[in-house]
Amino acid sequence: MEQNYPIKRIIDDTGMIVDASFEEQINEKLVKELYYNMQRIRTYDRKSINLQRQGRLGTYAPFEGQEAAQVGSALALQADDWVFPTYRDHGATLTFGKSMARTFLYWNGRVEGCIPPTGRNIFPPAVPIATQLPHAAGAAWAEKLKGTKNASIAYFGDGATSEGDFHEGLNFASVFKVPVVFFNQNNGYAISVPMEKQMNSATIAQKSVAYGIPGIRIDGNDCLAVYFETKKAFEHARNGHGPTLIEAVTWRKGAHTTADDPSKYRPDKQGENIVDPMVRMELFMKNYGYWDEKWIQEMTDKIIREVESAVEEMENFPAPNVEDVFDHVFAEMPAQLAEQKEAYLAHLERR
Query: CA dihedral defined by 76, 78, 83, 89, rounded to 10 degrees?
Result: 40
Quote the CA–CA distance of 244 and 153 in Å, as a whole number: 10
Those residues with Cβ within 8 angstroms of residue 218's Cβ, 6 or more apart along the chain or in another chain: 7, 8, 9, 225, 226, 229, 246, 247, 248, 249
- Beta bridge partner(s), residue 203: none
Rounded to 5°, angle at Cα 106 from 243 and 319:
150
252 among known catalytic residues: yes
Query: For the chain, what's the residue count?
Result: 351
Specify whether 265 is catalytic.
yes
- Write down the catalytic residue from 252, 290, 347, 351: 252
Between vectors from CA 241 to CA 237 and to CA 244, what angle results, nearest 5°?
Answer: 55
Catalytically annotated residue among 88, 90, 102, 256: 256
- Cβ neighbors of 90 (< 8 A, separation 6 or more) are 41, 44, 63, 98, 103, 106, 125
> Does 120 participate in catalysis according to the annotation?
no
Question: What are the residue numbers of the active site?
Answer: 252, 256, 265
